[in-house]
Amino acid sequence: MKTYDWARLRDKLRFRWTEETLDVFQDNAERFKLDSAHGFTLDLRARLVLRDERHLASFDEIQSFVLEVRQYSDIADTFRLILSRVGKRDIFIGDTKDQLTCSRLAARMSALTGKPVVARRVVV
């Protein structure tokens, strides 16, 4: 009888049925990687921000992490995590409907990079 490693297969395929993109995939001494935010990674050894292994910014270029609350009149609030860079365009990291998840991720990234978290509210 053949046995399958279902956890490995699930991790390899990474099917996503929700719109939420802020799930932690890897958190160790070398890397902090989000699962479904298009490969958003903090490389702690090289002090770089990567997306799909493409260099986006160094830790020195980061101004802050922005926790943005988007308020809609007819649907639930959406919480977005954005990387604000010095003198350059902001980088969208991901969004979720869960405020606690978003704030925990912002706090973790802030602790890893030494950059502050800024909250902002947008009414749509």
pLDDT tens digits, 50-80: 988 899 999 999 999 999 998 887 777 889 9
Whether 10 is covered by a domain: the verdict is no
The Cα 15–Cα 18 span in angstroms is: 9
The 10s digit of each residue's pLDDT in 6-23 is: 555 555 554 444 455 678
What pLDDT, on the 0 to 100 scale, is given for residue 17? 43
Q: Global pTM?
A: 0.77
Whether 12 is covered by a domain: the verdict is no
Whether 4 is covered by a domain: the verdict is no
Whether 45 is covered by a domain: the verdict is yes
- For the record, the structure tokens of 90 come out as 């902001």
Confidence of residue 38 (pLDDT cuts 50, 70, 90): confident
- DSSP helix/strand/coil, 31: strand
Whether 9 is covered by a domain: the verdict is no
CB 88 within 8 A of CB 68: no
Name the nearest CA neighbour of 36 among 53, 55, 16, 60: 16
Domain count, the chain: 1
Whether 1 is covered by a domain: the verdict is no
What is the domain extent for residue 46?
A: 19-123
CATH number at residue 57: 2.30.29
Whether 108 is covered by a domain: the verdict is yes
What pLDDT, on the 0 to 100 scale, is given for residue 16? 45
The 10s digit of each residue's pLDDT in 88-105 is: 889 889 888 888 989 999
Whether 26 is covered by a domain: the verdict is yes
What pLDDT, on the 0 to 100 scale, is given for residue 6? 52
Confidence of residue 113 (pLDDT cuts 50, 70, 90): very high
